[in-house]
Amino acid sequence: MGPFSDIAFLLIIFFILTTSLIRPMGRFISMPSSTSQSEQDKAHNPTVTILPDKILYGEKGKGDEELGLLELRARLLAMGLKSRREEQRTIVVDLADNVPYETFYRVATAISKADGVIALLEEAERTDAE
């Protein structure tokens, strides 16, 4: 009976030492529900285009302007997204090829902290004819 209690205590110690008590860090990102094209056209959602070397911000009817990350955060906070309905809080993100993940994560975090909802543009696969 003695060796069984030793094994039980060793197993308890093993599980105590290997269990992580740190709460995982992360950011909750709310994904928008699908809407019809006519509803999306009425919304006039701003677009953030992320290129490998710069971030462009544009609203419908205006041209895209290059912004730094701090300027983008200030612009998003000034929009007052928290007081809007969810479909009016959508920020369209157009992600170019070869964008570092860190850049995308910083932009996504800025949108999320401003209470925006991210909508990702998905481009159809290109064919050789293009």
Which pLDDT does position 93 carry in this prediction?
Answer: 84
| More reliable by pLDDT, 35 or 109 | 109
pLDDT in tens, 39-74: 444 457 788 888 888 888 887 656 678 888 888 888
Q: Is residue 37 part of a domain?
A: yes
Asked if the structure places residue 126 within a domain, the reply is: no
pLDDT of residue 128: 47
Counting Cβ atoms within 10 Å, is residue 92 exposed (0-12), middle (13-18) or buried (19+)?
middle
- Tell me the residue range of the domain where 105 lies: 27-120
> What is the rounded CA–CA span in Å between residue 42 and residue 80?
19
Is the residue at 77 inside a domain?
Answer: yes
Domain for residue 21, yes or no? no
Give Dmax (Cα) for the chain: 80
DSSP state, 98?
T
Q: Which residue has the higher pLDDT, 37 or 75?
A: 75
User: What is the overall mean pLDDT for the chain?
Assistant: 75
> Does residue 55 form part of some domain?
yes
93 assigned to some structural domain: yes
130 assigned to some structural domain: no
| Lowest mean pLDDT across 19-23, 24-28, 36-40, 63-67 | 36-40
Number of domains in the chain: 1
Residue 54 is part of a domain; what is its CATH number? 3.30.420.270
Residue 17 located in a structural domain: no
Beta-carbon contacts of residue 61 (< 8 Å; ≥ 6 apart) = 44
Q: Is the pTM of this model over 0.85?
A: no
